[in-house]
Structure 1
Amino acid sequence: MKKILFLALFGFGSFCASAQEEIDTLKVHRQILDSLFIEEVEKPKTSQKPKVLHAEPLYIDLIRDLGARKGEKEWNVGFGMQDKRRYDEFHALIEYEWAPIDRLGLEVELPVSLYSFRNGNSEGAIPANTLESIKVAGQYTFLVSEKRNTSLAVGYIHEFALVDFEKMGKMNAFKGNLFNPFFVAAKRWGSNYHTLIYTGPRIEKGYGKQAEVGFETNYNLHYMVSGTRNFIGLELNQEFVNGKSTATLRPQMRLGLAENLMIGIVSTIPVAQPDAGLGSFVRIIYEPGFKAMH
């Protein structure tokens, strides 16, 4: 009996040791993959400047990667919907971003908003369908610290606001301007955890109208899967307008479908907003010329 018990304990101990060894081997393999991927992204080629890998938020995204390198480019197509209680709000966008020189990113975007009554209810008024604006933007990364895995950038977004579709051709197509300077600070903690803050004033000035001044702060926390660009995370968008604050939580994930093609999936959860319900957003990201070597 003692011999059988001894053999059983010995076998169990060997199994545990083997399982632990397999776990340790897998952990080391993931660390190696992650290190190789980070090195691949960050290591400069020829005369390029250094770059730190950061997770980019999916809803309020950056103009270009922090520390962008000359020649990088990206197409984005986005679709979203949000419950506005009495009606549904649909969003769509197409944008192109590129880096003409190291650390400078530029972007052109066309955002569209469409509205529809819910469940056949047509009481009251809903906003008019519109191509919201012609949006142009620039972003410059003025600090890249490889030692601290930190990047700092400043940027500016200018939107030429457009009238509703129904008014197009009947009056001046442009109805005002939106000015949005911003600051970005991002840090990677170890190999997998990423934090980023994006903040700045937002000034909307319609022709013949008084300017409306607001302030936006967006907080981001992401976990990037080792050896990939896949991540899960949380984006918190907070806006201050006329002394009132609104906040929206946006849990999100990004998945690589191919070396140069990714999809981002976002949920929208308004915080203490009685006139807004749940929503969702999908972003398709295509990077011409991007090729992973690992």
Structure 2
Amino acid sequence: MRLTIIFTLFALAKVKAQESGKQTKDSIYIQEIEKKEPIKNFHAEPLYIDLIRDLGARKGEKEWNVGFGITDRNVYDEYEALVEYEWAPIDRLGLEVELPFSIYPSSQNGNAPSSNLNSLKLAAQYSFFVSEKLNTSMAIGYIHEFEMTEFDNYGKKTLFTGNVYNPFYIVAKRWGQNFHTLLYTGPQFIHHFSNGVIDTNWQINSNIHYMISGTRNFIGIEFNKNVNELDFDMTIRPQMRVGITNDLLIGIVTGIPISRKNERFSTFLRLIYEPGHKK
């Protein structure tokens, strides 16, 4: 968390000094992205609950993501990792395959679950509205997860333990050249094979980001909200993204839950590789 705050304060201190010299450069970069066909608006993408592909994706775009994180679950620590690949086979359609892992060191309290590959996650997202005049984009999508058993149960129990059905809706708007807002929301239906029960959660993720002029770097915040019939949880995630090379970026996220009954602070790191991206 301290690392994120230090980086964020440093970035804020430099913004004013860099603004005038980079404003023109930033405008040119946005125009380079948006002037091609089909029309595509330039939007900042959240780092924790990320999109399947850029809104208004163009055919041939692709991206690799690798993520690492740690969450304090009060009586034990949870380490998470993910590998995902996303691509656009046609204009405005994004597809994604993701493998999310949860790792619990054996040295921890006996209350910790067993480590596992959480699921095989497949997703699609289609941008049905892209307005250059309004700097606004909208998309609908669907994520399907095949939930999997713990590593210790491989060969002993059924490999797949349930399904998660998750349709979603996204709307994003850029305000001028620097400020970006985005709403990502939809229900999650979790079907447990063991008892046939289906649990329903609503995810409401809202974001605001400030893109530093002349760069692909940003600072921002996610509000990840989860609602069901019994509870409401929200985690606030300050974050920043920094470009390392033309096609490699790094994202740093801190998680601050409003309630600490299930978890405390968390951190998350995302490496983003976009092969073929040009400056």
Q: Under a length normalisation based on structure 1, what TM-score does the superposition of the two structures give? A: 0.87
8 A contact 2:19–2:213 mirrored in 1: no
Aligned with 2:62 (options 73, 83, 101): 73
Displacement after TM superposition at 1:221 (Å): 0.3
CA distance in 2 between counterparts of 1:27 and 1:256 reads 17
Between Structure 1 and Structure 2, whose CA radius of gyration is higher? 1
Displacement after TM superposition at 1:41 (Å): 1.2
CA distance in 1 between counterparts of 2:122 and 2:225 reads 22
Q: Secondary structure at the match of 1:63?
A: coil
Displacement after TM superposition at 1:121 (Å): 6.0
Displacement after TM superposition at 1:251 (Å): 0.3
Cα RMSD of the aligned pairs, angstroms, is: 1.6
CA distance in 2 between counterparts of 1:111 and 1:275 reads 20
Aligned with 1:163 (options 149, 173, 179): 149
CA distance in 1 between counterparts of 2:19 and 2:160 reads 56
Q: Secondary structure at the match of 1:237?
A: strand
Question: Structure 1 pair 27/89, CA: closer, same or farther in 2 (3 Å)?
Answer: closer
- Please give the per-residue CA displacement for 1:56-115, whole angstroms capped at 9, x wherever unaligned: 000000000000000000000000001111100110000000000000000000000012
The amino acid that maps onto 1:71 is G
Taking the TM superposition and a 5 Å limit, the aligned residue runs for 1:159-198 are 159-198=145-184
Q: Does 1:112 align with 2:101?
A: yes
Aligned to 1:56: 45
CA distance in 2 between counterparts of 1:91 and 1:27 reads 37
Displacement after TM superposition at 1:274 (Å): 2.2
CA distance in 2 between counterparts of 1:236 and 1:148 reads 24
Q: Under a length normalisation based on structure 2, what TM-score does the superposition of the two structures give? A: 0.91
Aligned to 2:24: 32
8 A contact 2:238–2:253 mirrored in 1: yes
Q: Does 1:103 align with 2:92?
A: yes
Displacement after TM superposition at 1:179 (Å): 0.4
Structure 1, unpaired ranges of 5+: 1-23
Displacement after TM superposition at 1:241 (Å): 2.0
CA distance in 2 between counterparts of 1:162 and 1:221 reads 34
The amino acid that maps onto 1:176 is G
Aligned to 1:14: none
Aligned to 1:200: 186
CA distance in 1 between counterparts of 2:207 and 2:112 reads 32
- Please give the per-residue CA displacement for 1:27-68, whole angstroms capped at 9, x wherever unaligned: 543221111010111111xxx310000000000000000000
8 A contact 1:77–1:95 mirrored in 2: yes
User: How many residues were matched structurally?
Assistant: 263
CA distance in 2 between counterparts of 1:241 and 1:99 reads 33
Q: Secondary structure at the match of 1:218?
A: strand
Aligned to 1:7: none
